[in-house]
Amino acid sequence: MISHRKKVYGVIGLAISMLVSMAPPALAASTVTLYKDTTYQTIWGFGAAANHPVNELKTNYNATTQGLILDKLFRTDASNAGLSIVRMEINPYTAAQDAVQTTFMPSSGVTDWNTDLHQRWFA
């Protein structure tokens, strides 16, 4: 009669062998080199989403640092990102739900242009 320990080891061994046999084959390492002056296609616009980081930028940094960060994001020379599209968030929150990201339309037909200041500053 097979002992309980041998049964457990047998089941564990079977499980390991099944996992190893199902593992995908290892892929060779790849190297990617980017050349800024080589064009394969033209992209009309390059962008990112902005909301919480924009609030941090507006609230926590002085004008000089803000300018440096904005240059890194939007300038197209040197090693800057060259963004030309920014997706802004349309916030649905009331002031009670989220004081920073309050909707500019608190009710039908009412517009509050004093809300969502960080995104309007960024835009």
Question: How many other CB atoms sit within 10 Å of the CB of residue 115?
Answer: 20
Say if residue 2's pLDDT is above 60: no
**Predicted local distance difference test score (pLDDT) of residue 18:** 56
Evaluate whether residue 25 is within a structural domain. Answer: yes
Evaluate whether residue 1 is within a structural domain. Answer: no
Evaluate whether residue 42 is within a structural domain. Answer: yes
- What are the tens digits of pLDDT across the range 70-116? 999 999 998 898 889 888 777 777 778 877 777 777 778 888 887 77
Evaluate whether residue 2 is within a structural domain. Answer: no
Evaluate whether residue 72 is within a structural domain. Answer: yes
Say if residue 5's pLDDT is above 60: no
**Predicted local distance difference test score (pLDDT) of residue 46:** 85
**Predicted local distance difference test score (pLDDT) of residue 13:** 59
Q: Would you list the DSSP string of 78-100?
A: TT-----EEEEP---B-TTT-SS
- What are the tens digits of pLDDT across the range 15-70? 566 555 565 677 778 888 888 788 888 888 888 887 778 888 888 999 999 999 99
Q: What is the domain extent for residue 29?
A: 8-122
